[in-house]
A = this chain, B = another copy of it.
């Protein structure tokens, strides 16, 4: 196996040199051809996907896992739509982000270039194969994909179509390679290829991400968890606050940008919390409160220390009454995961200070935490959300799959 993975690394590096020079039209052509091919190949994709689903059923996988595995007509349409959107994004490669002139006349700038070779290790959803490859190629990279064993046949078929589409667009087909084995050792081998893979992006549960981080010899762009907070300030439009809190918690509770802890200023706790709690109850949300919350909300369970750290990903919410915003920020710093925090306030000074002081990947004023998403923030697409600070912090779009080199234009400058 070692040799095969090493060979993939070398081929990816070769392909990345060609991809770095690919022009915008070729990359757009690839994405458009891929979108058409997904439509034309729906039968062969469906057949491969049925193999995976049947296998999963025989193995007795849970319904949620099988649901994630199925490439339904809707999932296929979303993939096609996604490809078209990525195709229409501006090409980030070659952009000169800044340029300045030195006293000696040397004109210096920074030009955007691809990262090189990107490794993606992911779990069950087969659409990641297409979505991730599309973004990597748009940014001029080569990519090595390693999907979950449950989706093996689906992924193999999709990867085959990706390679055919590259070929048709005159791009190197080795710009997309798929690890054609479900052997776990292959992942370890891939994580050791620091000479050929510039960055590794794991997508999946916390166990997978910790495994990749532990063994990867190259940098890893990752996101562990989202313990997101909304702080409702003393001066605030209570109806807006209720709407934001409800949206942040219940609109899609299983996502990483859903609210997990609600912090409420003591001055409005009495006028805000009982009605808010009613809204939550009507929407099936279980509350776990601090002592002061429980005094205002009947039949509220007591929050333990663990609740403040919890990422429930479910209709459960921890609630705490705080004496002021500083205590709210202290709470966020101590228990949060630097993912997404929002303040609801009508007070300018506190809005301004909250944004400055909270060090999370997205800090919002008067809007739902659910906006921490590449599409929602206007990046056009997203390959994941990074909660580590190096290179990218927050949603990663096509630009985060590039870097910048320095360029300099002179007329004979020498160093003295």
Contacts and interface: CB of A to CB of B under 8 A. Distances in A.
A378 B413 CA distance: 15
Given A243-B412, A412-B244, A405 B333 contact: no
Nearest to A252: B415
A185 interface: no
Given A361-B405, A394-B405, A378 B108 contact: yes
Contact of A367 (B116, B199, B413): B413
Given A376-B415, A415-B370, A415-B376, A116 B362 contact: no
Contacts of A213: 194, 217
A414 B365 contact: no
Contacts of A390: 115, 198-199, 219, 221, 390-391, 403
Contacts of A100: 378
A61 interface: no
A55 B5 CA distance: 49
Interface stretch (A283-291, A313-321, A351-359): A351-359
Contacts of A370: 414-415
Question: Most chain-B Cβ atoms within 10 A of its Cβ — which of A106, A194, A243, A378?
Answer: A106
Contacts of A26: none
Contact of A414 (B351, B360, B368): B368
A20 interface: yes
A388 interface: yes
Interface residues of A, number: 68
A324 to B, nearest CB: 16
Contacts of A403: 389-391, 393
B333 A17 contact: yes
A210 to B, nearest CB: 11
Interface in A202-252: 213-214, 217, 219-221, 237, 240, 243-244, 247, 251
11 contacts: A21-B356, A21-B357, A94-B356, A362-B406, A363-B408, A366-B410, A367-B408, A367-B411, A371-B408, A372-B406, A390-B391
Interface of A: 17, 20-21, 94, 100, 102, 106, 108, 111, 113, 115-116, 194, 198-199, 213-214, 217, 219-221, 237, 240, 243-244, 247, 251, 333, 351, 355-357, 359-368, 370-372, 376-378, 388-391, 393-395, 403-415
